[in-house]
Structure 1
Amino acid sequence: MTTIYGIKNCDTIKKCKKWLEANNINFAYHDYRTDGIDKEIVTTFVKQLGWENVLNKRGTTYRQLTDEQKASLNEETAIELLLEMPAMIKRPVLIHNNEYHLGFKPAQYETLFDI
């Protein structure tokens, strides 16, 4: 089973879902805001992908952090911030065949799904 994690108003999530549907790939969608998120999910993302990769530093949520919060980032503090503000999780997180992937690029997905 393929699962993607994100938030529905994210343009990248919209592109990802559209691509998966166009290529007839069945997937489950988990929206952080409506379906929730817990420490186990975030910790798994971080262990599989690395906290530096999971933390979206390009988004407005990250830019609103204080300089002190940014300076004190490490795996533990990143997990706490991602739980508090899941919009900072880079999107989408895709799980396919028990492998974790981050972001969406059509070429990456073509390789991943053998298209």
Structure 2
Amino acid sequence: MLFVCYPRCSTCKKAQKWLDDNGISYTYRDIKEDNPSLEELTAWYKESGLDIKRFFNTSGQLYKSMQLKDKLPGMTPEEKLRLLSTDGMLVKRPILVCGDVVLVGFKEQEWANTLL
């Protein structure tokens, strides 16, 4: 299981504590130090079944400064994935990848239903 997060993110800290408290083992990956590749993001997007917009950190400073709210609607999914692969701070976190299951963002009940 791969746990992709940003160490200074409070939601990521909650998710990590939840994983630890439930005895779930994982490989930790800092999204700022080791940005997901285009190939990884493409696979996660397809496996998750989620709208591509869910993969964007819409509350992040970089998202806002790049005015992506206005730009994303005119982009193809491939262009969006390519953009996400350029900077980990654009990516919604945490991401938990377990086989063909991909969870984006931390919703405790969703994680519990999927993992416990």
TM-score (norm 1): 0.82
Q: Does residue 43 of the first structure (1) align with residue 42 of the second (2)? A: yes
> Gaps spanning 5+ residues in structure 1: where?
none
SS in 1 for 2:33: helix
- Native 8 Å contact 2:103 2:111 kept in 1: no
Give how far 1:71 is off.
5.0
Give how far 1:45 is off.
2.3
> Gaps spanning 5+ residues in structure 2: where?
none
Q: Which moved more, 1:12-21 or 1:79-88?
A: 79-88
Distance 1:3 1:24 in 2: 15
Which residue is 2:82 aligned to?
80
Q: Which runs of 4+ in 1 moved over 4 A?
A: none
- Native 8 Å contact 1:6 1:30 kept in 2: yes
Distance 2:20 2:81 in 1: 31
Q: Does residue 21 of the first structure (1) align with residue 20 of the second (2)? A: yes
Pair 1:35–1:70, CA change in 2 (3 A)? closer
- Native 8 Å contact 1:55 1:78 kept in 2: no
Which residue is 1:8 aligned to?
7
Distance 1:47 1:61 in 2: 24
User: Which residues in structure 2 correspond to 1:51-62 (within 5 Å)?
Assistant: 51-62=52-63
The amino acid of 1:62's aligned partner reads Y
Q: Deviations over 1:55-104 (max 9, x none)?
A: 22222221111466445333122112211222111111111243111111
Cα RMSD after superposing both structures = 2.0
Which residue is 2:98 aligned to?
96
Q: Which moved more, 1:16-25 or 1:89-98?
A: 89-98
